[in-house]
Amino acid sequence: MLDPFAQVVALLQPAASFSKRGSGAGRWSVHRSEVGGPFYCAILEGGCRLKAEGHDEIVLMGGDFVLIPSAQNFAMSSLLPAGAKDIVSTPIVLPNGEHRLGSTDDPPDVRLLLGYCVFRSPDAALLASLLPKLVHVRGVSRLATLMQLVSDETRAQRPARDVVLERLLEVLLIEALRSGGKTDAAPGLLRGLTDERLAVAIRRMHESPNQSWTVTQLASEATLSRSVFYERFGHAMGMAPMEYLLAWRMALAKNLLRREKACIAEVASRVGYSSASTFSVAFTRHVGVPPARYARDTPFDNMSPVEPGSSAETGAIV
């Protein structure tokens, strides 16, 4: 059976924005506001604090990994209590390439790898909303290894660099999501897949989006009554079963139109519509433009990674 997480991450089309090595010493605090993109961080040694909007403060220690798929307002600070005078506006780049927070004269209290990426999919907001708002994984060393590979590849100018980065980021995100770390309790795909009954129905929708599913059929797959399935699905996923199925079909259709340049009739058949005209009506209502125009006006690479130093990077933590 297909893995819904792998499908969602692949459709998000992650691309590296930048990644950096950082360290901190003494008392320091940095803030990031209205980022909106994915933030990830691996603590190599030592410790620090993370406070993300809507979440309790987390003490991060060596071996920890944090993923925030859609970061808004958050701050990182030293384990030592930091005041207003300790806020760092611009880190200092050390001779070894590390971005130092706090004192440059003292040995570091924490070393970390951190980075940001962008989701190039036009459905990024919808797809990212299916993921946990925050994932905190402890003691999975391979995540730091993957981050190091991302960091190395970001700095290198090797052939097929962007392709390699996209694959590394897909693996990194999937590994973080499946590692069973602490996540928020917000509705979404992870919460749905942790329910064994719902997971069967969700995987069937992903496996066969071209099937003419009904709520009754999906409830049967989950071995639940129609009413129990409907209520349980909405509580776990944050949307009704048919709403999720429609959103998933449209995300697949957009990908087929942009990436594969498939004809309208073929796309309609592959996402569960009996005719091109029926699909076109549904697509236009959902997306706002007819599928033919969407395919013509939306190139595959419609979003480029943010380059370090650009205006979009202003206020980076390190």
Whether 309 is covered by a domain: the verdict is no
The listed range with the strongest mean pLDDT (49-53, 170-174, 181-185) is 49-53
Whether 9 is covered by a domain: the verdict is yes
pLDDT (0 to 100) of residue 301: 55
In the predicted structure, residue 302 carries a pLDDT above the cut 50: no
In the predicted structure, residue 34 carries a pLDDT above the cut 80: no
Tokens of 48: 């620090």
Q: Are 5 and 193 in contact (CB under 8 A)?
A: yes
Note whether 168 and 248 are same-domain residues.
no
State the CB neighbour count (10 A cutoff) for residue 94.
Answer: 14
In the predicted structure, residue 220 carries a pLDDT above the cut 60: yes
pLDDT (0 to 100) of residue 147: 87
Distance set, CA 132 to CA 70, 116, 171, 231, 250 (Å) = 9, 17, 17, 20, 21
If phi > 0 it is left, if psi is from -120 to 50 it is alpha, else beta; for residue 5 that is alpha
pLDDT (0 to 100) of residue 186: 67
Whether 101 is covered by a domain: the verdict is yes
pLDDT (0 to 100) of residue 194: 85
Note whether 248 and 169 are same-domain residues.
no
pLDDT confidence tier of residue 185, bands split at 50, 70 and 90 = low
Whether 156 is covered by a domain: the verdict is yes
Domain extent, residue 247, equals 189-297
Strands 29-32 and 110-119: unpaired
Boundary (domain end) residue, out of 139, 161, 181: 181
Note whether 212 and 104 are same-domain residues.
no
pLDDT (0 to 100) of residue 316: 45
- Give phi and psi for 81, each to the nearest 5: -55, 130
In the predicted structure, residue 100 carries a pLDDT above the cut 90: yes
Note whether 163 and 205 are same-domain residues.
no
Boundary (domain end) residue, out of 135, 151, 181: 181
pLDDT confidence tier of residue 313, bands split at 50, 70 and 90 = very low
Whether 312 is covered by a domain: the verdict is no
Note whether 81 and 166 are same-domain residues.
yes
Query: pTM score, two decimals?
Result: 0.74
pLDDT (0 to 100) of residue 133: 83
Whether 265 is covered by a domain: the verdict is yes
Domain count, the chain: 2
Distance CA 66, CA 7 (A): 21
Boundary (domain end) residue, out of 181, 205, 234: 181
Region 270-293: mean pLDDT is 95
Whether 305 is covered by a domain: the verdict is no
In the predicted structure, residue 317 carries a pLDDT above the cut 60: no
% of the chain exceeding 90 in pLDDT = 47
pLDDT (0 to 100) of residue 180: 62
In the predicted structure, residue 84 carries a pLDDT above the cut 50: yes
Note whether 127 and 240 are same-domain residues.
no
Cα-Cα-Cα-Cα dihedral sign, residues 274, 275, 281, 283: positive
In the predicted structure, residue 240 carries a pLDDT above the cut 50: yes
Region 95-109: mean pLDDT is 92
pLDDT (0 to 100) of residue 99: 93
Whether 201 is covered by a domain: the verdict is yes
